[in-house]
Amino acid sequence: MAGAGSDALPKVPRLVVLTGADGFIGRAVQAHWARSGRPFRAVVRRRGSPVPLSRGQLPTDDLATATEGELDRLVAGADAIVHLAGRAHVMRESAADPVAAYRAANVETTVRLARAAVRAGVGRFVLASSIKVNGEQSVAGRAFGPADPPAPADAYAVSKLEAERALAALAAGTPLAPIVLRLPLVYGPGVGGNFLALLDAVARRRVLPLAAVRARRSLLYVGNLAQAVDAALDAVPAPSGVHCLADAVPVALPDLVRALAAALGVPARLVPVPVPLLRLAGFVTGRGAALRRLTTALEVDSSRFREATGWTPAVTLDAGLADTARWWRRRHAL
């Protein structure tokens, strides 16, 4: 019989299955584990693709429709699963039925993978969720935390909440520890979407009418996230439940622009436009949702995860933006 002391020692998983391994976050986690030596099986959706797979990558069909046999093979021998795959938030929706598309990609895949994990006796299931489950706007001075009542405002956030609840229900009464990480905007080398658009605008010295924005928003550097995933996998006992993650300090948009400009070595070209006028312009141009997010607070409290795992975001905003700027310059051969 093992002594009490052995239970206090960190148990590093022998093998971790990583879904969504070819996405922005997945590539960063793969690179982090390749450096640290953690054994992993990277699951990618490249079946039939002419693009050669990297070592350790395993192609698969859509996880929502893969057979149980294929799912069992994906998780065979694994001690943990890190589930990043899913349908990301879409700004310009093209699906005929967005609710169904999000549920298939975000809920059904989680359910089916969790069932396979239970069948295989997997110990931990880390699910990448979204802070949008908490809502679109935090109250100034009061950050979102895992104990706050969910308030998802769109089909994407609803699907993430449903995935969280389905995972918890499937894991109940089994050895599987469900660990949910609600993430804010994640940035770093390889970032896309609105952050890349802002990075491009700053790098090209465009005038940005954002100097009057005061609301602060939490971000998460992808390297800090990779280390948080390690903490979720290694902490004893397993940090089951819902956690919110973010870098140490939220940032107001004008300060983010100035920090990006400093990292890129260009001037920050900011002009003050009253926030109500910005929002009106967004409404007129069809970008109301994007402007609303830019001008409202969304702060995240990571204290529960820090207390459960000992994780702290080691990379500062300035250092993370410097890394992102180096990637941008390489991408544009500057």
pLDDT for residue 34: 93
| Mean pLDDT score, 148-171 | 96
Q: If you count them, how many residues does the chain have?
A: 334
Tally of CB atoms within 10 A around 282? 18
Question: Hey, what amino acid is at 84?
Answer: L
- The verdict on whether 156 is a catalytic residue reads yes
In the block, residue with structure tokens 């902490």? 235
At the top level of CATH, which class does the domain 9-187+220-246+300-313 belong to? alpha beta
pLDDT for residue 185: 96
Rounded CA-CA distance 65/63 in Å is: 5
Q: What are phi and psi of 109, to 5 degrees?
A: -65, -40
pLDDT for residue 284: 73
Q: Is the pLDDT of residue 127 over 90?
A: yes
In this predicted model, what pLDDT tens digit does every residue of 81-115 receive, in sequence order? 999 998 776 555 566 677 888 899 899 999 999 99
pTM: 0.90
Helices (H), 204-252: 222-234
pLDDT for residue 178: 98
Tally of CB atoms within 10 A around 14? 11
Single out the catalytic residue among 102, 156, 187, 221.
156
Least confident of 1-5, 12-16, 36-40, 139-143: 1-5
pLDDT for residue 263: 97
Helices (H), the chain: 4-7, 24-36, 68-75, 98-102, 109-120, 155-171, 193-203, 222-234, 253-264, 275-285, 288-294, 303-309, 317-331
In this predicted model, what pLDDT tens digit does every residue of 198-252 receive, in sequence order? 999 999 999 999 999 999 999 999 999 999 999 999 999 999 999 999 999 999 9
Tally of CB atoms within 10 A around 11? 16
Strand-pair category, 177-183 with 124-130: parallel
pLDDT for residue 301: 97
In this predicted model, what pLDDT tens digit does every residue of 49-76 receive, in sequence order? 444 445 555 666 578 888 999 999 999 9
pLDDT band at 48 (very low <50, low <70, confident <90, very high): very low
| Alpha-carbon distances, residue 305 vs 56, 246, 302 (angstroms) | 30, 10, 6
Q: For the chain, what are the domain ranges?
A: 9-187+220-246+300-313
Interacting residues of 39 by C-beta distance below 8 A, sequence separation 6+: 13, 14, 15, 16
Q: Is the pLDDT of residue 162 over 80?
A: yes
Q: What is the 3-state secondary structure (H, E, C) of 161-184?
A: HHHHHHHHHHHCCCCCEEEEEEEC
In this predicted model, what pLDDT tens digit does every residue of 260-298 receive, in sequence order? 999 999 999 999 999 888 888 777 776 767 777 778 999
